[in-house]
Amino acid sequence: MLAGDEGPAASVAMEIVLHSARMTGATALLDISNAHIDGCLYHGMASIEFAELLSAGGGTVRVPTTLNVSSLDLLHPDLYRGDDQTRSEARRLMDVYVDLGCEPTWTCAPYQLPSRPGFGEHIAWAESNAVVFANSVLGARTGRYGDFFDIAAAITGRVPAAGLHLDENRAGTTVVDVGRLPPTLLETDAFYPVLGHLLGKNVSGIPALVGIPPSVTEDRLKAVGAAAASSGDLAMFHVVAVTPEAPTLESALGGRGSRKELLVTAEMVTTARKELSTTGDDSLGAVSLGTPHYSATELRRLVDILDGRRISDRIDCFVSTSRDTLGEIEADRLDIHLSDAGIELVVDTCTYVTPILRDVDGAVMTDSAKWAYYAPGNLGVDVVFGSVEDCVESAVAGEIRRDEGIWRYG
């Protein structure tokens, strides 16, 4: 491939993979079974020029390859509020990646698709929350890959034998104990994005969590990873007696013991929760849910919480999900229930990366720590973090309402 025997694109891609291998000190390459591409999200002409260079050079992916969120919702084009040139260039980029052989999944949660990597599989995933989920919850193996390298790995089918692809680098480095927090808090969805934000800010390396209930759901683990990969550089965590490489604390630590310990206190949780809001103002302008993309389970729960009520006419309420999940809930007509309630479903993208929010008079409320972390800088809006129940009650009332009961630890 490097010599050009399989075309110019494969040569360029292999050169990128080999440079990465040298930088990481790898002495070999590994075959991958799957890739997930982040480079399809438009960030300027460099994004297009690189993809078109590969396309013109005969590039095509060698492994099943999914695509991350794009800059457009192709199923609901009227939601886009940006300029026509950016729209055109974003669509041009999306089309090139499909031409390279990638699947037009357009989701930041590829682990929610019907086919996902199995335990021990080497993959090349970009999109930070997906990287964490793959390593931690699925037990697949990927580095925290980024734009341009991701498609190079997909075209060559190779990654450096380094980092989290290797056994010795997957052991926990810090024991994080949440066992002294109230059990009622640990059984609350809203706790998990806050915990993830706390981990990202306070833990370097791979945390091994103890005290998490064995009944913890994938959606809660998704929230932990997404938040920690935003506020920090997390690429993997263990949950003892839950995640596949952590049946015991000893196994989570690779038999080596921990160099560090972190006891999570109620005060630390309170601080982390406060950091996810930029204002305490009661003025509500909009609600944004679904970062990462909501699963079918989360959408069904949203319908249950609404219980037939309708969002205030003064409030825009958006929920981001994948087109695959949308197809799943359409079978039960849940999309109709959400539409009748005044909720707008967004697919293919996310509201903190694409201009979808209308002029907002007041704060935007979200149940996502990732959205809360990025939106103020990306969109210039104030954010209030709350549980999904808080978000629904606020959207229905037209003003910010938060249940403080679950956060009282006395």
Which CATH number is 324's domain given? 3.30.499.10
pLDDT band at residue 408 using 50, 70 and 90 as cut-offs: confident
Q: Which amino acid is at 55?
A: S
**Beta-carbon neighbour count of residue 390 at 10 Å?**
22
Same domain for 281 and 253, yes or no, is: no
Tokens of 150: 């991701």
pLDDT for 280 equals: 84
Distances (CA, A) of 63 to 69, 95, 310, 325: 19, 19, 45, 23
pLDDT for 410 equals: 53
Same domain for 283 and 371, yes or no, is: yes
> pLDDT digits over 49-60, tens only?
999 999 999 999
Same domain for 156 and 40, yes or no, is: yes
Q: Which ranges of 157-292 does DSSP label H, i.e. alpha helix?
A: 183-186, 191-202, 218-231, 249-252, 266-275
For the cut 70, the answer to whether the pLDDT of residue 167 exceeds it is yes
- Position 84 in a domain: yes
Tokens of 71: 């800059």
Distances (CA, A) of 113 to 76, 105, 227, 325, 363: 21, 9, 21, 8, 33
For the cut 80, the answer to whether the pLDDT of residue 169 exceeds it is yes
Per-chain mean pLDDT for the chain? 96
Same domain for 305 and 264, yes or no, is: no
What's the Rg (C-alpha) of the chain? 21
Is-contact 106 293, C-beta < 8 A?
Answer: no
pLDDT for 406 equals: 87
Tokens of 253: 């630590």
Is-contact 345 239, C-beta < 8 A?
Answer: no
> Which of residues 168, 187, 219 is at a domain's end?
168
Same domain for 97 and 232, yes or no, is: no
> pLDDT digits over 64-90, tens only?
999 999 999 999 999 999 999 999 999
- Position 3 in a domain: no
The CATH number that applies at residue 52 is 3.30.499
Distance CA 154, CA 163 (A): 18
Same domain for 121 and 257, yes or no, is: no
For the cut 80, the answer to whether the pLDDT of residue 328 exceeds it is yes
> Which of residues 121, 146, 168 is at a domain's end?
168
Helix (H, G, I), strand (E, B) or coil at 287: strand
Same domain for 159 and 12, yes or no, is: yes
The lowest-confidence range among 91-100, 117-126, 276-285, 291-300 is: 276-285
Same domain for 84 and 45, yes or no, is: yes
61: left (phi > 0), else alpha (psi -120 to 50), else beta?
beta
Distance CA 54, CA 107 (A): 22
For the cut 90, the answer to whether the pLDDT of residue 282 exceeds it is no
Is-contact 132 139, C-beta < 8 A?
Answer: no
Is-contact 31 167, C-beta < 8 A?
Answer: no
Same domain for 151 and 75, yes or no, is: yes
> pLDDT digits over 151-162, tens only?
999 999 999 999
- Position 155 in a domain: yes
Task: Write out the residue range of the structural domain in which residue 80 sits.
Answer: 8-168
Please state the domain count of the chain. 3
> Which of residues 274, 299, 326 is at a domain's end?
274
Same domain for 364 and 388, yes or no, is: yes
Q: What is the DSSP letter of 257?
A: -
For range 316-341, the mean pLDDT: 96
